[in-house]
């Protein structure tokens, strides 16, 4: 089966607020969310990995694979789908999954197409760009400020543990950039957290050395 997934979805109404089970810290650390209220306001939230469309059925495509497959063989199946207006192509991922139709068990899944920002490509979204992505030796965090503001950058792993914490500095209005060394980071996915005044903006990065 195939699922279209979109990153960085957001809204302004109350229904976009996020219930925060880490509020107060009783459930452990989660990259600063333990210091936020029990409902994080919509203005501070962006949602990744949101399923936008499941092709055919939620249980995959019946008979898309032969009943018997020889180990090492290559099997292909072609889908055709027209993306609706309003979807952001640069934020889309296509997830393919293999499901046992008799048990509805997902046997395997993979993010088969993903949009990464190239080494020299700064893709600004709401005045923020984190690049290169994937990154090797360093990660650049570029941002634009309307006024002089105190800014810092933190990096968390996917378990919510902070693996890098930068000092707070005041940056001038206009375009600025912070460079983070990846020397202490192992290969994997991380969340870069940009703290601009009272606002927190997060972006995902992949470190591949």
Boundary of a domain, candidates 89, 115, 141:
115
Whether residue 23 is contained in a domain is answered as: yes
Nearest-angstrom CA–CA distance, 183 and 197: 27
Owning domain of residue 169 = 128-207
Whether residue 123 is contained in a domain is answered as: no
Give the CATH number of the domain where residue 173 resides: 2.60.40.3080
Asked if residues 8 and 36 have their Cβ atoms less than 8 Å apart, the reply is no
The confidence score (pLDDT) of residue 112 equals 57
Q: Are residues 97 and 9 located together in one domain of the fold?
A: yes
Q: Please give the span between the terminal C-alpha atoms of the chain, in angstroms, as a whole number.
A: 32
Nearest-angstrom CA–CA distance, 129 and 40: 23
Nearest-angstrom CA–CA distance, 9 and 14: 14
Q: Sorting pLDDT into bands at 50, 70 and 90, what band is 118?
A: very low
Nearest-angstrom CA–CA distance, 191 and 73: 37
Q: Are residues 13 and 49 located together in one domain of the fold?
A: yes
Q: Are residues 101 and 136 located together in one domain of the fold?
A: no
Q: Sorting pLDDT into bands at 50, 70 and 90, what band is 148?
A: very high
Helical ranges in 87-190 per DSSP H: none
The 10s digit of each residue's pLDDT in 38-55 is 998 888 888 888 888 998
Q: Are residues 100 and 201 located together in one domain of the fold?
A: no
What is the tally of structural domains in the chain?
A: 2
């Amino acid at each position: 089966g195939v699922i279209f997934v979109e990153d960085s979805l957001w809204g302004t109404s109350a229904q976009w607020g996020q219930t925060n089970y880490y509020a107060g810290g009783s459930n452990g650390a989660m990259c600063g969310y333990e210091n936020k209220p029990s409902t994080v306001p919509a203005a501070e939230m962006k949602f990744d990995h949101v399923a936008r469309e499941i092709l055919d059925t939620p249980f995959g495509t019946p008979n898309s694979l032969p009943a018997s497959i020889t180990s090492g063989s290559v099997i292909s199946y072609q889908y055709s789908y027209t993306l609706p207006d309003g979807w952001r192509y640069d934020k889309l991922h296509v997830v393919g999954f293999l499901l046992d139709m008799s048990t509805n068990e997902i046997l395997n899944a993979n993010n088969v197409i993903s949009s990464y920002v190239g080494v020299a490509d700064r893709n600004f979204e709401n005045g923020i760009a984190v690049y290169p992505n994937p990154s090797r030796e360093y990660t650049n965090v570029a941002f634009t400020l309307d006024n002089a503001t105190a800014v810092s950058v933190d990096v968390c792993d996917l378990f919510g543990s902070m693996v890098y914490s930068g000092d707070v500095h005041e940056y001038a209005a206009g375009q600025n950039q912070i460079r983070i060394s990846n020397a202490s980071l192992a290969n994997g996915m991380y969340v870069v957290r940009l703290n601009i005044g009272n606002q927190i903006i997060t972006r995902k990065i992949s470190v591949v050395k």
